[in-house]
Amino acid sequence: MGKVTRLYQINMDPSLQLIPESLVLDGVKSFVGADSVCYKLVISFLNLETFDEDGRKICFGCMPIVGEITRVLFNLTLMEFDRQFSHKYPGIAFERFIGMVFIACTDDLRIDEYQVFDMIQDLGLSCSIEYTEPGLEPLYCRNRMVALDYEGKVVVYNPTDYYPTDYG
pLDDT on residue 59? 62
Question: Is the whole model's pTM more than 0.85, yes or no?
Answer: no
Higher model confidence: residue 164 or residue 158?
A: 158
**Per-residue pLDDT reduced to its tens digit, 72-96:** 888 888 998 999 999 999 999 999 9
Q: For the chain, how are helix, strand and coil distributed in percent, rounded to 5?
A: 35, 25, 40
pLDDT on residue 16? 82
Alpha helices in the chain (DSSP H): 21-32, 37-46, 68-88, 113-122
Work out the average pLDDT over 53-65.
Answer: 73
pLDDT on residue 162? 53
What does the DSSP assignment read for 81-100? HHHHHHHHSTT-EEEEETTE
Work out the average pLDDT over 146-154.
Answer: 89
- Model confidence at 165, pLDDT cuts 50, 70, 90, reads low
Q: What is the dihedral of CA 93, 95, 101, 103, to 10 degrees?
A: -20
Whether 7 has a pLDDT exceeding 90, the answer reads yes
Amino acid of residue 27: G
pLDDT on residue 39? 92
Work out the average pLDDT over 51-66.
Answer: 73
Amino acid of residue 98: I
